[in-house]
């Protein structure tokens, strides 16, 4: 008997002919019945390659519906899917491959990199030529995905996530984002990231909605797709840097985006000024918070008045996620006091692949996960993320959070982007170094920028140094790489 082992299999029985996925680059479309069939056939392809439960299947390829099919097939087979960040150097890719030891590498660039390989086009042909394999019951708590950290600091480590963990992101996003059977998400965030692979997929298939897969972000093309009534996009999730590029593009016209339920952002701090600018144009910009190890955790209400009242907040958790704020000794702090965010719930992954020491540091014995983020919870339960714990520096005995300075400078006329890091100082121990990039053709005076900040921040928070560069270094997920920025500024 065929078992209904995942959301696609269920929707294939409930709504066989409902649209499930579109590959926008080719125009190819899948109903839930066709998607279920291709996933089942992909299981047969993997089995024919000799893969068994527990094997890792890596993928080095740009966004395509076939990658979602491959991931789902791995889960049904019991294998573990490992998407690779194609923006990394070959040395970094080699490190990850050596770490996860895949039995197969699916690729779209013709380079198997010393691993048994299968081209993405060959996988597609094999799926079409292979009979579907009947699904059997499987353990939803075993890992089906390893997502490697984006590499903002240190050596990449792989977070292990199960189908049960990933389903929680679908449930949380459903509740927070008003996802239903009529929802259509445009997915152009890279599928080596939790946003592109999980947040942009699980809630929609869980509810019978459709996933429209783009092969990459391009501001003009993305704006056109968001405005296209034939596509009917209702949801769009991106990092703040992508949202800023949309807004700055000459084709930006908010009147053409009225069909959106909201634009959702996460993955990096989103300046309040940017959020309010979208609201002023009549489009809800909904901030949220999540991470590789936990998926989507919290989000703001899709309500302009609520967002305006707390533009710096990241949102409220669903009842399925526990949040607490603790001090350096693990003691729970009162409302309104900043400390480390810790979370607990069925969304939490099982640890880091082959990293027992790092797993023990973050995945605590009592079931809580130490996020390394600094935040606070107000009296009404709204969570605000202040900064990364590791980004905080101490100047003259005072804790300074770079994200607070970055938020204060956001929206300065002509400013394209800015970041702050702590650097050593003989007198104060550490001081801030503000690095910014100006918009094309704009000249910004550093002293004017500091005067702007002086009117908004305590004196000890003011950066001692200011530097201008062409663009901030970012990783494949759009996050500023502060380690690279530090090396650029101080040569360390």
Give the per-residue SS3 of the chain.
CCCCCCHHHHHHHHCCCCEEEEECCCCEEEEHHHHHHHHHHHHHHHHHCCCCCCCEEEEECCCCHHHHHHHHHHHHHCCEEEECCCCCCHHHHHHHHHHHCCCEEEECCCCCCCCCEEEHHHHHHHHHHCCCCCCCCCCCCCEEEEEECCCCCCCCCEEEEEHHHHHHHHHHHHHHHCCCCCCEEEECCCCCCHHHHHHCCHHHHHHCCEEEECCCCCHHHHHHHHHCCCCCCCEEEECHHHHHHHHHCCCCCHHHHCCCCEEEECCCCCCHHHHHHHHHCCCCEEEEEEECCCEEEEECCCCHHHHHHCCCCCEEECCCCEEEEECCCCCECCCCCCEEEEEECCCCCCEECCCHHHHHHHECCCCCEEEEEEEEECCCCCEEEEEECCCCEEECCEEECHHHHHHHHCCCCCEEEEEEEEEEECCCEEEEEEEEEECCCCCCCHHHHHHHHHCCCCHHHCCCEEEECCCCCECCCCCECHHHHHHHHHCC
Do 396 and 361 share a structural domain? no
CATH of the domain at 479: 3.30.300.30
Query: Is residue 166 one of the residues assigned to a domain?
Result: yes
Share of the chain above pLDDT 70, in %: 98
Among 328, 350, 385, the domain boundary falls at: 385
Query: Is residue 293 one of the residues assigned to a domain?
Result: yes
Residue 473 CA to residue 484 CA, distance in Å, equals 7
For residue 408, the number of C-alpha atoms closer than 13 Å in the C-beta half-sphere is 21
Do 110 and 196 share a structural domain? yes
Taking only the tens place, the pLDDT of each residue in 278-336 is 999 999 999 999 999 999 999 999 999 999 999 999 999 999 999 999 998 999 999 99
Q: Quick one: how far is CA 84 from the chain centroid?
A: 14
Among 385, 414, 446, the domain boundary falls at: 385
Do 318 and 407 share a structural domain? no
Do 285 and 138 share a structural domain? yes
Do 346 and 439 share a structural domain? no
Prediction pTM value:
0.85
CATH of the domain at 323: 3.40.50.12780
Query: Is residue 435 one of the residues assigned to a domain?
Result: yes
Query: Which residue, among 488, 478, 464, 490, has the nearest Cα to 417 in the 3D structure?
Result: 478
Taking only the tens place, the pLDDT of each residue in 223-281 is 999 999 999 999 999 988 789 889 999 999 999 999 999 999 987 778 898 999 999 99
Do 407 and 367 share a structural domain? no
| Domain span including residue 76 | 7-385
Do 402 and 347 share a structural domain? no
Do 419 and 371 share a structural domain? no
Query: Is residue 176 one of the residues assigned to a domain?
Result: yes
Query: Is residue 2 one of the residues assigned to a domain?
Result: no
Do 367 and 279 share a structural domain? yes
Do 359 and 244 share a structural domain? yes
Query: Is residue 313 one of the residues assigned to a domain?
Result: yes
The count of domains in the chain is 2
Do 237 and 176 share a structural domain? yes
Among 385, 404, 428, the domain boundary falls at: 385
Do 422 and 298 share a structural domain? no
Full pLDDT tens readout for the chain, 492 residues: 567 889 999 999 999 999 999 999 999 999 999 999 999 999 999 999 999 999 999 999 999 999 999 999 999 999 999 999 888 778 889 999 999 999 999 999 999 999 999 999 999 999 999 999 998 878 899 999 999 975 434 578 999 999 999 999 999 999 999 999 999 999 999 999 999 999 999 999 999 999 999 999 999 999 999 999 999 999 999 988 789 889 999 999 999 999 999 999 987 778 898 999 999 999 999 999 999 999 999 999 999 999 999 999 999 999 999 999 999 899 999 999 999 999 999 999 999 999 999 999 999 999 999 999 999 999 999 999 887 777 888 887 777 878 889 988 988 999 999 999 998 888 788 899 999 999 999 999 999 999 999 988 878 889 999 999 999 998 765 678 888 888 888 764
């Amino acid at each position: 008997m065929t078992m209904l082992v995942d959301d696609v299999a269920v929707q294939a029985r409930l709504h066989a002919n409902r649209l499930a996925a579109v590959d926008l680059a080719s125009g190819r479309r899948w109903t839930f019945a066709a998607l279920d069939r291709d996933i089942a056939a992909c299981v047969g392809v993997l089995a024919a390659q000799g893969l068994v439960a527990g094997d890792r299947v890596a993928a080095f390829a740009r966004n395509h519906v076939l990658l979602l099919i491959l991931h789902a097939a791995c889960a049904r087979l019991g294998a573990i899917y490992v998407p690779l960040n194609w923006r990394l150097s070959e040395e970094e890719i080699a490190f990850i491959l050596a770490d996860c030891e895949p039995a197969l590498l699916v690729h779209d660039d013709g380079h198997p990199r010393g691993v048994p390989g299968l081209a993405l086009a060959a996988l597609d042909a094999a799926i079409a030529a292979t009979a579907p394999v009947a699904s059997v019951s499987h353990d939803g708590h075993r890992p089906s995905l390893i997502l490697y950290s984006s590499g903002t600091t240190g050596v990449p480590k792989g977070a292990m996530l199960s189908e049960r963990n990933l389903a929680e992101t679908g449930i949380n996003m459903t509740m927070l984002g008003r996802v239903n059977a009529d929802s259509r998400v445009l997915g152009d965030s890279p599928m080596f990231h939790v946003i592109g692979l999980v947040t942009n997929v699980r809630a929609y298939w869980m509810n019978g909605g459709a996933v429209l897969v783009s092969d990459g972000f391009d501001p003009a093309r993305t704006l056109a797709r968001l405005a296209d009534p034939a596509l009917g996009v209702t949801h769009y999730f991106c990092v703040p840097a992508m949202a800023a590029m949309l807004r700055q593009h000459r084709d930006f016209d908010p009147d053409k985006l009225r069909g959106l339920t909201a634009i959702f952002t996460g993955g990096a701090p989103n300046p309040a000024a940017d959020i309010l600018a979208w609201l002023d144009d009549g489009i809800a910009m909904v901030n949220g918070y999540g991470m590789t190890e936990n998926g989507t955790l919290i989000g703001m209400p899709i309500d302009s008045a609520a967002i305006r009242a707390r533009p710096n907040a990241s949102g409220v958790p669903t009842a399925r996620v526990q949040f607490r704020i603790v001090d350096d000794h693990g003691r729970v702090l009162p409302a309104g006091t900043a400390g480390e965010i810790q979370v607990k719930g069925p969304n939490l992954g099982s640890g880091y692949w082959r990293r027992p020491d790092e797993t023990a540091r973050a995945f605590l014995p009592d079931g809580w996960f130490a996020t390394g983020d600094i935040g606070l919870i107000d009296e009404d339960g709204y969570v605000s993320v202040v900064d990364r714990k590791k980004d905080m520096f101490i100047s003259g005995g005072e804790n300074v959070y770079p994200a607070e300075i970055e938020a204060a400078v956001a929206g300065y006329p002509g400013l394209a982007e800015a970041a702050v890091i702590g650097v050593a100082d003989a007198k104060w121990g550490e001081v801030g170094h503000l690095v910014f990039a100006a918009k094309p053709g704009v000249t910004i005076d550093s002293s004017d920028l500091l005067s702007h900040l002086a009117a908004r921040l305590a004196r000890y928070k003011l950066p001692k140094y200011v530097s201008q560069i062409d663009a901030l270094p970012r990783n494949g997920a759009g996050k500023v790489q502060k380690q690279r920025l530090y090396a650029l500024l101080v040569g360390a």
